[in-house]
Chain A
Amino acid sequence: MIWRSAFNRLWWTISILCLLAAIAILFIVFAFVAIRGFPALHPEIFYTVTSGIAGGLANAIAGTFLLVSVGLLIVTVVGLGTAIWIVEFAPPWGKSTVRFAIDILSGVPSIVVGYFLYVALVEALGWGFSLMAGALALAIFMLPYVVRSADIALSKVPPAIREGAFALGARPAMVVFTIAFPWAAPGILTGLLVATGIGVGETAPLIYTAGWSNYMPTLAPTHSPVGYLTYVVWTYISQPFAKSHELAYAAALLLMIFIFTTNLLARSFLEYSLSSRGRR
């Protein structure tokens, strides 16, 4: 009997070590970026645009913000809609088809999405490098994660509760918004946060759709290229100037801080709103 509990201890210890290893690697990468980007972190990068070999990050920050916001808007509507359809309305063949398609979509390289949209939107439809093209690229890239997480979360609503609601006379729309959503909210949020993280950190889809701009983004949906932080990271790191490298790392640092604070805020907000509703 003793070896069973020793075994038990062993596995749990290993699992904790794995968790610590994961967090440790995160800190290592964060430190790597922070040390190199720190010299460039003056307050002025927040209100100067990129110019010359370095400059500021104002245009990139504003651009990233715009692209991700519009992209999230699109992917939330389409992604959640798809997940709801899968769970509540779809016939069995519909369920597997859509799930299958979404899984395939997750395997498409970011460059293929970007280049496809370049040919379709930027060239064929004549949108030029634009906010909408970039946001669409991000939305397509984020879609699988949002749909799958929402799908899994909505499916996990206990059948007893769901059927109880139906028994009380609730119709599907009511069940979805008043029963399923609150229960699945944490999972849906996870999907959105993971998707945002992945979307914000991608370069290839945006290079061919949003292009790049050395200026603050106009809010025009088409014919106006938009800057974004990952471009700075990808391109300025290839410059032969130390100042450019610092700016690149500063951009990466800002990205990571943005993701972290968003995650933390969103989760805390969710915990708070759910506990205040007596859910936990």
Chain B
Amino acid sequence: MIQRPSRLQRPNAQIALGGLTGIAALTSVLIIVLMLVFLAIYAYPAIRFNGLGFFSGTIWNIGNQYGSGSVTRNGFSAEPGAVFGAVVFIFGSVATSSLAMIIAVPFSIMVAMALVYRVHPRIRPIANALVELMAGVPSVVYGLWGMVVLVPLIARLPGAGSGNGLLAATIILALMVTPIMVATIRDVVLAQSATIFEASMALGGTSWQAVTRAVLPSVRGGVVASVLLAFGRALGETMAVLMVCGSAINSLPQNIYQPVNTIAAVIVSQLESALTDSSGMAQRSLAELAVVLFLITLAVNIIARVALHGADRSEGQ
């Protein structure tokens, strides 16, 4: 019986697939480029108005909406008294995300290792589903739980004040990024052939050493990719952080208990009022904040890639 070759073998199919997927990839890149360009153009008046004071000032004041007159700088004007300093938010974003990652990365690796090597294969689907469910908890629910349970808990610690602050935000963020990393690390380790593990054991290492010194380094690319993704999520998380961070305005935290504010959270909380600014400068300054966040994410990704220059190549990609 003569079988026709599969349709997938046709030359047209290759071109079609290459073309269609190329369009998909182009779309993905286009989305981010469009957003960045739009934000940058929209924020331009604010960039000129705020100048370098944006990066050194801690005061964020949208000005007196109900007053008269306006204040002008570099050719752009805003309501009287308006000054936009973003130090509080930039610090908050970087601090909360970095601290959250410091907690979450080792924790996630531990959880993933347990899932791969210590959980019985029959229970694994349920254990996997449970950990992935952590990603399925709506961010508002994390925020609510944080507000009602976590913050009062922290408030009990000596010197903790109201509990809303850097520590609460860090913990919530760590919880939210963990499932992303666990899921991916678990998958790459599982897909990795067992020979690396067995070879390491054969050389006389303990199983833990086999994991940390042989298996994990061999999947370094995948691990780093998921860490970067998780860091991005931490930087961009809005609702949950908003409800527990204490929304510091005009002040930097002196210790881990004091209120902070992140760029994402402040955009949410200030967008509302920025819309009442008839000069539009408040909205544009928020857009400028979004651009700064883009730049921070960009910087983190570049640094990570440079630091792990060889990782991609060793994966055979």
Q: Indicate if A touches B (C-beta under 8 A).
A: yes
B142 interfacial by beta-carbon distance below 8 Å:
yes
A176 interfacial by beta-carbon distance below 8 Å:
yes
Residues of B within 8 A of A108 (CB): 32, 35, 236, 290, 293-294, 297
Residues of A within 8 A of B263 (CB): 109
The interface size of chain A toward B, counting residues with CB under 8 Å, comes to 105
Which B residue's beta carbon lies closest to that of A184?
A: B191
Interface residues of A in 167-202 (CB under 8 A from B): 170-174, 176-178, 186-187, 190, 193-194, 196-198, 200-202
Which of B137, B232, B239 is close to A29, meaning CB atoms less than 8 Å apart? Answer: B137
Assess the B28–A109 pair: CB atoms within 8 A: no
Interface residues of B in 101-137 (CB under 8 A from A): 107, 110-111, 113-115, 117-119, 125-137
Interface locus among B17-25, B57-65, B79-87: B17-25
Which of B118, B129, B134 is close to A12, meaning CB atoms less than 8 Å apart? Answer: B118
Assess the A22–B9 pair: CB atoms within 8 A: no
Contact mask for chain B residues 136-175; partner A; CB cutoff 8 A; 1 contact, 0 none: 1111111011001100000000000000000000000001
Bound Cα distance from A103 to B107, whole angstroms: 22
Interface residues of A in 83-104 (CB under 8 A from B): 84-90, 94-104
Cβ distance A229 to chain B, nearest Cβ, rounded Å: 8
Residues of B within 8 A of A159 (CB): 316
Assess the A144–B229 pair: CB atoms within 8 A: yes
Residues of A within 8 A of B111 (CB): 15, 18-19, 22
B301 interfacial by beta-carbon distance below 8 Å:
yes
Assess the A89–B22 pair: CB atoms within 8 A: yes
Which B residue's beta carbon lies closest to that of A158?
A: B193
A113 interfacial by beta-carbon distance below 8 Å:
yes
Cβ distance B80 to chain A, nearest Cβ, rounded Å: 26
Interface residues of B in 12-47 (CB under 8 A from A): 13-14, 16-18, 20-25, 27-29, 31-33, 35, 38-39
Interface residues of B in 209-228 (CB under 8 A from A): 209, 221-222, 225-226, 228
Assess the B133–A260 pair: CB atoms within 8 A: yes
Interface residues of B in 253-309 (CB under 8 A from A): 263-264, 267-268, 271, 290, 293-294, 296-298, 300-301, 305
Assess the B239–A173 pair: CB atoms within 8 A: no
Assess the B239–A203 pair: CB atoms within 8 A: yes
Residues of A within 8 A of B131 (CB): 19, 22-23, 26
Residues of B within 8 A of A177 (CB): 8
B50 interfacial by beta-carbon distance below 8 Å:
no
Which B residue's beta carbon lies closest to that of A261?
A: B129
A213 interfacial by beta-carbon distance below 8 Å:
no
Say whether, besides A23-B130, A81-B25, A171-B13, A204 and B239 are in contact (CB < 8 Å). yes
Residues of A within 8 A of B148 (CB): 32
Bound Cα distance from A186 to B18, whole angstroms: 23
Which B residue's beta carbon lies closest to that of A176?
A: B17
Cβ distance A185 to chain B, nearest Cβ, rounded Å: 11
A259 interfacial by beta-carbon distance below 8 Å:
yes
Which A residue's beta carbon lies closest to that of B42?
A: A119
A264 interfacial by beta-carbon distance below 8 Å:
yes
Assess the A156–B236 pair: CB atoms within 8 A: no
Bound Cα distance from A23 to B119, whole angstroms: 13
Among B138, B182, B263, residue most surrounded by chain A Cβ atoms (within 10 Å): B138
Residues of A within 8 A of B296 (CB): 107
A147 interfacial by beta-carbon distance below 8 Å:
yes
Assess the A81–B208 pair: CB atoms within 8 A: no
Residues of A within 8 A of B226 (CB): 148, 152
Say whether, besides A263-B132, A271-B125, A113 and B35 are in contact (CB < 8 Å). yes
Residues of chain B at the chain A interface (Cβ within 8 Å): 6, 8-9, 11, 13-14, 16-18, 20-25, 27-29, 31-33, 35, 38-39, 107, 110-111, 113-115, 117-119, 125-142, 144-145, 148-149, 175, 178-180, 182-184, 187-188, 190-193, 206-209, 221-222, 225-226, 228-229, 231-233, 235-239, 263-264, 267-268, 271, 290, 293-294, 296-298, 300-301, 305, 312, 315-317
4 nearest A-B residue pairs (beta carbon): A81-B24, A259-B136, A201-B138, A197-B136
Q: A8-B207, A22-B134, A84-B24 given. 9 additional CB < 8 A pairs?
A: A12-B117, A14-B110, A18-B110, A26-B133, A102-B32, A109-B293, A177-B8, A230-B140, A263-B132
Residues of chain A at the chain B interface (Cβ within 8 Å): 4-5, 7-8, 11-12, 14-16, 18-19, 22-23, 25-26, 28-29, 32-33, 77-82, 84-90, 94-113, 115-116, 119-120, 140, 143-145, 147-149, 151-153, 155-156, 158-159, 170-174, 176-178, 186-187, 190, 193-194, 196-198, 200-204, 230, 233-234, 237, 252, 255-256, 259-260, 263-264, 267-268, 271
